Structure 1
Amino acid sequence: MEKRWIRKPVPEPATVRQLADALRVNEAIISLLCQREVSSFEDARAYFRPVLHELPNPLRMRDMDRAVARLVRALHEGERVLVFGDYDVDGTTSVAVVYSYLLPLFGPERIDYYIPDRYQEGYGVSETGIDYAAQHGYALIIALDCGVKSVDKVTYATTRGVDFIICDHHLPGQELPPAVAVLDPKRTDCEYPYKELSGCGVGFKLMQALGEHLGLDEEPLHELLDLLAVSIAADIVPITGENRILAYHGLRLLNDPQRPQRPGLDALRELAGMGVNELNITSLVFGFAPRINAAGRMGDAKRSVAMLLAQTKKEAKEKAGVVDQTNQERRGFDTSTTKEALQMIEDDAGLRTASATVLFKQDWHKGVVGIVASRCLDKYYRPTIILTASNDGKATGSARSVVGFDVHEAIGECADLLDQFGGHMYAAGLTMPVENVPAFREKFERIVAGRIQPEQLIPPVDIDCVLKLSDVTPAFFNLLRQMEPFGPGNSNPVFESRNVYIVRHSARIVGNSHLKLTLTQDGHCTIDAIGFGLGEYHERIMQGEPFSVCYTVEMNEFRGVKSLQLRLKDIRWEE
């Protein structure tokens, strides 16, 4: 598939010189830092060595004082507290963090957790959950990763004598729920300096504020940063500012061989086949998150929380096994549904040439439609909506979009055909009467076709800077490693090298379509490279023409031997 190479602007020479004088490191590293708005020695120190004492004061968050006061009252007056979380990774890790921190304070008789059933109760705060709290004597619910738009539900809770503290990070609506406290840095009236916390991050700030109010030692709270790092990775929030500090220290905990690891996460690590390999944001996204998510997608997300809270290796292994089995079931549905969806496109000339993909099938599993939408987008790279039938006979599904196109806005223009929809620019959910699907497909296609730019249908590759292959040394790689954790807002640098050749006879196809080769430049430097899914270039590469590559740098280990390797993102011949 053709890709757009987008070269980031070269930093101002004066800024580069100033930082180079302060740091005295490789020029490419200086350029990368400037692109990340690191322009002084102090900026660099904070970037390379994030420290927990630089976390913003939690009391700067709107309503935090009220939330702490309500929790202290519950603690002193013997009230029962229910920790309520969404069923995805962010929600379940939020529950694990807050429940773990409050358990020693309240005791097991006065605190419990609740995850709504995805299919019976839907997303977020539910009347069923509120009724459960009222019936079991819980005077206070702490809602995590949900609730900021639950005006009706929280109003209902007041009639049942149940108070709410909401810890959310989604955009609020025009009206806030009548909760005791609504903690959300995205509130327009909230002056908290960092706006991109995960839901788990907001819950962590509440626990931080409570601990400071009670004069508690910080160590028990900091021991929960491993769970928070999983949340940050899985929820794809920016790895900048406060999130970078939290993720950095959470990963340090996960990779500390001297620290007893959390049994549930250790069991996940084993199931994901990661062994003693160092964990990073990517391994949490692809190794941990799908397994934790699977319980919510396929049934009961409380199983994931129980695994995260397990106290012994035996208990954790048992619960992780159940979660992993659920993930295997999810993968089965994912694979079969993706195959069906791609075949539907291939078999329909109109769908093959459309500007958008909208597919509906009655019996697809609701828990995998978002994943399948992403798979179809990877293949055809255009706004994609995958729909299936819900229990109430409606068509319901998920949307995913390409860079620069607001799928939420486009869906909103079809609101006359929908029962409800929500989400953001690149991902959304929607529900409609089944009979409206054909009309919706036609209208959505017309809107996308009229608005999307041709270049938006070509996947972009953002390139940080041009590099000579001779610059890719172990010392250079060690400096790159110190820029971790990588993720949104602090991406793994992508480099471009021009006029490279293959070392004779080194290019070959491995697996189904992957390209393995050794590159040289200027005739005196060689380095191995692999391009996943780039096998289509093999024939032309073998002709011996010079070409350009864009890539990330990684350490490859084979039979106990480590060596630097380029992971190719694309190959281009200059015309």
Structure 2
Amino acid sequence: MLESSGWQVQPTTQVPDWLLETIRPYLPESSGSHAAQLLWQRGIRQPEQLPGFIDPRCYQPTSPFAFGLEMEWAIARLQKARQAAEKVVIWGDFDADGITATAVLWEGLGEFLPADCLSYVIPNRLTESHGLSETRIAELAAAGCSLIVTCDTGSANLAELLYAQRLGIDVIITDHHTLPPERPPVTAILNPRTLPPSHPLAHLSGVAVAYKLVEALYLTLPDVPTRPLTALLDLVAIGLIADLVMLTGDCRYLAQLGITYLQKNQDPINPPRPGIAKLLELCRRSGDRPTDIAFGLGPRINAISRIRGDAHFCVELLTSQDRERCHQLAVETELANARRRVLQRQVGQQVKDKIAQLDLSTTQVIVLADPQWSVGVLGLVAGQIAQEYGRPTILLSTEESSREGLSSEPGAELDFELDIDQSTEQPESATRVLLVRGSARSVHSIDLYALLQQQAHLLHRFGGHPYALGLSLPVENIPLLTQAVNQHLRLSNAGVVAKPPMQADLVVSVAELGSALFQELKLLEPYGIGNPTPKLLIRNCWFTKPWHRKLQDLQGRKLEYIKTEFTICDDTHPEGFPGVWWGHYKDELPVGCCDAIVELDFNSYEDGKRKRRYEVRLVAVRTSQASILSGDREVQPILDWRGQRQHPSESVVLVSICPSSWAELFSWMRQAQSSQRPLALAYAAPVMQPADEIWQQLLNMAKELNRSTTLTAYEPLQNQLGIGRQSLELGLVALKSIGFAVIKTPSGLKIGDQPTATAPSEAAIEAIEQFLSAVRQEQFMQQFFYQVPLTTLEAAIVQERGIEAGVLP
């Protein structure tokens, strides 16, 4: 889908010298100017801010006892449980933050409590949902549990906490969600929302709060644990980044450190966590980037409960040392994520089909229901629809369920816990009430929580925050709810607003993409809320070699999930740079000159094999503002100076080397139009050296380069041989086929391992023949471009301009 609205670009600022001087030691391959611009844009404007931001070794972490008396009470209660060998239960949650928090407490508390005294509970996403439940609490009491330690949940479960108190069970809450007006009846509550917003612990996620509790135990009883506290940091990084919290203060510090420990799972012989190592292998990630969590581990951990409901085995996957068992669980996780992708795409398309039947001009809130929709993916789909259509979206699954069958709060399909601090549940009765469950997402600062709170009389239960909620209601109330929320937004003038413009952080060229720029951007990792992944604007670019395919799961079944690959080019780099566009078909890429916003990434895997390459992820694309036939630019003339010995070179785009393809000529044309200068064809008659002599010349050059230890640039090689880049690439393939070792990099190549004098194989003969054929074809085209009348070239260029501008088929 082309972007038609305006794009905004952050203005370039003259950054102070001290900033550049400070970051240059971290960036030996580049000037650091792009990194400095981003740091300045994002509020790093004092010298003392920088070291702790880019290097965790320079950050002073906050003591866990900053939680004050609550932490002291929690530690005292855990010490008592340890001394009396009490039965302690960890009450976790089923999303990535909750699962990793459970794993942190399972391993961390396990260093202090006897193995037979510690266990954990995780609700079923599809039948129980988030939070505590009286049924489970009663079961734990009957089993002799005397202490519950929650993680990533519990702050707002007042009724359930009172019930636990009546049964004689103490509760320590570790959570980061909404607090009730009054302190709940618990032994201790560790929740960063009790701290000031500027506090370095204020944005901790559930796993980070759990880690702080374990850290306090390590400080209090330093002689007891046998494993270092740092062994938990990889789990902390996964939960922090997957939960999309503000990565500032201790959150950023823990995420940075955690990623360094996550990388250790690349060890093929003895990974510290075999389950994570196998999961990284299956999702083709290395574990050294935040994106490996955001796009790899996080979605897969979440997928288990979305598809299966029960996520208990995820804790085993993360903590077990049984490699065979971990491999089995990792495969099940990967298959669940493949199924999640299919469901999400299918439900998304079904939602769009229903939206096509709505009158969007009168629709402020999209409310849709269907009995076939899986409740496990409704939150993901609702978020996509809300963003695409610019309206709050409520999606409901009407699969039959009674009031008795809905045993806990709604919101199970959400990626993060939604606290249920408002309930409109009516007294139980013998009457069977058909309930629907679903998820809601908001946009444009519309407070969806407040909107639904005003319609609480129509709901069974709901909970969440202003931008994401879970809810349930009687099926007969769906039309009433739809009418009520639409009318309220319409009257309050807070409904559909213009979609905010796309934001770009830096303007770059295709030639700048690659290792040096990647290292500059990596300096600011990990990215997240408050420090988003940089968006790079590339102007006047075009796409070549687009193709798409459906992904496959581990069993070889094609998924209804599309990835398009392409090469993005501009005048600075006509050969282009690789890229991907997830969830789109190749036909959606525009033809001709356009502007693109991308994110630069590094891919360690391709087709299941390690193949390290830099690539871009396409975020948005639109017809170029400098389109060739936009009407606001004069079409530049073409000057025919072919064969002339002398010619002026000022104020023209000079083509001094004879093109060997239409693509080369059109690239020069775009450059002329972009700079508003005439295009001058000033090349001499091509020299037609026999193709086999060029091959022999390439062989001789390869033998000379074999003795060189430095990189050889591509362009000088092409000029010496009189061939283009495509022919050179085929020549390098032919060299490899006869035994040369060819090592290619973006800036040049090395030749090694000169072959012995043996007869070439059939494959080598075929590779050499392909090179010779390409050279002959190139020479034919060069002869054509030297002899063809100018009027023919002008007609072809005008036609290409029309195609790029979309005015010609």
TM, length-normalised to structure 1: 0.88
Change (3 A) 1:4 1:407: farther
1:152 to 138, 159, 165: 159
Distance in 2 separating the partners of 1:290 and 1:562? 23
Q: What corresponds to 2:350 in structure 1?
A: 340
Distance verdict in 2 for CA 1:52–1:136, change over 3 Å? farther
CA distance in 2, matches of 1:446, 1:296: 35
2:82 aligned residue (70, 75, 81): 75
Note if 1:253 corresponds to 2:261: yes
SS of alignment partner, residue 54 of structure 1: coil
Structure 1 segments (4+ residues) deviating >6 Å? 557-561
Give, in angstroms, the shift of residue 105 of structure 1. 1.9
Whether contact under 8 Å (2:52, 2:58) holds in the other structure is no
**Identical positions, percent:** 31
Report what 1:520 is aligned to: 570
Q: How big is the shift at 1:332?
A: 4.8
What is the aligned partner in structure 1 of residue 273 from structure 2? 262
Letter paired with 1:266:
A
What SS class does the counterpart of residue 255 from structure 1 fall into? helix
For residues 303 and 150 of structure 2, the distance between their equivalents in structure 1, rounded to whole angstroms, comes to 21
Aligned CA distance change for structure 1 residues 61 and 516 (closer, same or farther; 3 Å): same
Q: For residue 295 of structure 2, what is the aligned residue in structure 1?
A: 286
- How many angstroms apart in 1 are the aligned matches of 2:51 and 2:58? 13
Q: Which amino acid in structure 2 is aligned with residue 287 of structure 1?
A: G
Q: Runs of 5+ in structure 1 lacking a partner?
A: none
Matched, 1:300 2:310: yes
Residue 426 of structure 1: CA displacement? Answer: 2.1
**SS state at 2:462 partner:** strand
Q: C-alpha displacement at 1:495, in angstroms?
A: 2.1
- Aligned partner of 1:226 in structure 2 is 234
Answer 1 or 2: higher relative contact order, Cα 8 Å, separation at least 6: 1
Structure 2 gaps of 5+ residues are 25-30, 404-433, 550-561, 631-809
Give the partner amino acid of 1:49: D
Amino acid at match of 2:620: D
Kindly provide the amino acid, as one letter, of the partner of residue 71 in structure 2.
M
Residue 61 of structure 1 contacts residue 192 of structure 1 at CA under 8 Å; is this kept in 2?
no
Seen in structure 2, the aligned counterparts of structure 1 residues 143 and 246 have a Cα distance that, compared at 3 Å, is same
Secondary structure at the residue paired with 1:360?
A: strand
| SS of corresponding position for 1:109 | helix
Provide the C-alpha distance between the structure 2 equivalents of 1:384 and 1:302, rounded to a whole number of angstroms. Answer: 31
Shift of 1:150: 1.3
Cα distance in 2, alignment partners of residues 564 and 328 from structure 1: 25
More deviation, 36-45/179-188: 36-45
1:485 alignment partner in structure 2: 526
Question: 1: distance between equivalents of 2:12 and 2:526?
Answer: 22
Partner SS state of residue 486, structure 2: helix
Q: Aligned partners of 2:361, 2:313: CA distance in 1, in Å?
A: 40
State the Cα distance separating 1:471 from its structure 2 match: 4.0
Aligned to 1:100: 107
Greater Rg over alpha carbons, structure:
2
Task: Give secondary structure in 2 for the equivalent of 1:51.
Answer: helix
Report the equivalent of 2:63. 57
Q: CA deviation at 1:386?
A: 0.6
- Report the Cα distance in structure 1 between the residues aligned to 2:520 and 2:239, rounded to whole angstroms: 26
The aligned residue for residue 98 of structure 2 is 91
Q: In the alignment, what sits opposite 2:486?
A: 445
| Amino acid in structure 2 at the alignment position of 1:435 | E
Alignment CA distance shift 1:188-1:415 (3 Å): farther
Distance 1:87 1:424, change over 3 A: same
Change beyond 3 A, Cα 1:267–1:537: closer
Matched, 1:409 2:441: no
Q: Which of 366, 376, 383 in structure 2 is aligned with 1:374?
A: 383
Letter in 1 for 2:487: R
Aligned-residue offset at 1:431: 1.8
What's the CA shift string for 1:393-413, capped at 9, x where partnerless?
A: 212210112343332233233
160-169 or 79-88: which moved more?
79-88
| Residue 357 of structure 1: aligned partner | 366
1:19 is aligned to 2:26: no
Choose 1-10 or 227-236, whichever is displaced more: 1-10
Q: Separation in 2 of the partners of 1:291 and 1:563?
A: 24
Superposed, which structure 2 residues align to 1:409-558 within 5 Å?
409-449=450-490, 451-452=493-494, 455-456=497-498, 458=499, 460-472=501-513, 474-498=515-539, 500-502=540-542, 506=544, 508=546, 510-511=548-549, 514=564, 516-521=566-571, 527-528=576-577, 530=579, 532=581, 533=584, 538=589, 541-542=591-592, 545=593, 547-555=594-602
Contact 1:509–1:538 under 8 Å retained in 2: no
Note the C-alpha offset of 1:203: 0.5
What secondary structure sits across from 1:186 in the alignment?
helix
Alpha carbons of 1:332 and 1:188: their partners in 2 closer, same or farther (altered >3 Å)? same
**CA RMSD in angstroms, aligned pairs only:** 3.0
| Secondary structure of 1:82's aligned partner | strand
TM-score, with structure 2 as normaliser? 0.64
Return the alpha-carbon distance in structure 2 between the equivalents of residues 192 and 16 of structure 1.
28
Native 8 Å contact 1:3 1:459 kept in 2: no
Deviates more, 1:473-482 or 1:558-567: 558-567
Matched, 1:240 2:287: no
Determine the structure 1 residue equivalent to 2:173.
166
Query: How far, CA to CA, are the matches of 1:87 and 1:563 in structure 2?
Result: 34
Q: How far is 1:371 from its partner?
A: 2.4
TM-superposed deviation, 1:225: 1.1
1:301-340 correspondence to structure 2 within 5 Å? 301-340=311-350
| SS of residue in 1 equivalent to 2:315 | helix
Deviation at residue 210 of structure 1 after TM alignment: 1.0
Tell me the residue number matched to 1:397.
438
Counterpart residue identity of residue 553, structure 1: L
User: Distance in 2 between the 1:489 and 1:7 partners?
Assistant: 18
How much does 1:26 deviate?
2.6
Report the CA distance shift for 1:79/1:313 in structure 2 as closer, same or farther (over 3 A): same
Question: Are residues 331 and 567 of structure 1, via their aligned partners in 2, closer, same or farther at CA, if it must alter by over 3 Å?
Answer: closer
Looking at structure 1, the residues matched to 454 and 13 of structure 2 have their Cα atoms a distance apart, in angstroms, of 42
Aligned 8 A contact 1:303 1:323 in 2: no
Mapped contact 1:151–1:176 kept (Cα < 8 A): no
Classify 1:159/1:553 alpha carbon distance in 2 versus 1 (closer, same or farther; 3 Å): same
8 Å CA contact 1:464, 1:494 repeated in 2: yes
- The secondary structure found in structure 2 opposite 1:549 is strand
Aligned-partner Cα distance in 2 for 1:145–1:325: 26
Displacement after TM superposition at 1:39 (Å): 2.4
**C-alpha distance in 1, partners of 2:107/2:272?**
15
Distance, in Å, in 1 between the alignment partners of 2:133 and 2:7 is 45
1: CA distance, partners of 2:277 / 2:613: 28
Q: Distance in 1 between matches of 2:350 and 2:505?
A: 38
Contact 1:93–1:227 (8 Å) recurs in 2: yes
**CA displacement at 1:189 relative to structure 2:** 7.5
Confirm whether residue 34 of structure 1 aligns to residue 84 of structure 2: no
Distance 1:330 1:565 in 2: 26
User: Displacement of 1:273 after TM fit?
Assistant: 3.9
Q: Work out the CA distance in 1 between the residues paired with 2:381 and 2:597.
A: 28
Report the equivalent of 1:45.
51
Corresponding residue number in structure 1 for 2:120 = 113
Distance in 1, matches of 2:445 and 2:512, equals 33
- CA deviations 1:119-178 (Å, max 9, x no partner) are 444420111222122111121100111111111111111111100000010020212211
Q: Quick one: structure 1 residues 475 and 265, their matched pair in 2 at CA, closer, same or farther if it must change by over 3 Å?
A: same
Deviations 1:4-37 (A, max 9, x none): 5553654764x54442354454322211011222
* Separation (CA, whole Å) in 2 of partners of 1:96 and 1:560: 30
Call closer, same or farther: CA 1:294–1:471 in 2, change over 3 Å: closer
Change (3 A) 1:17 1:403: farther
For 1:473 and 1:362, the matched residues in 2 are separated by: 48
Match of 1:268, SS state, is helix
Q: The residue matched to 2:185 in structure 1 has which SS?
A: coil
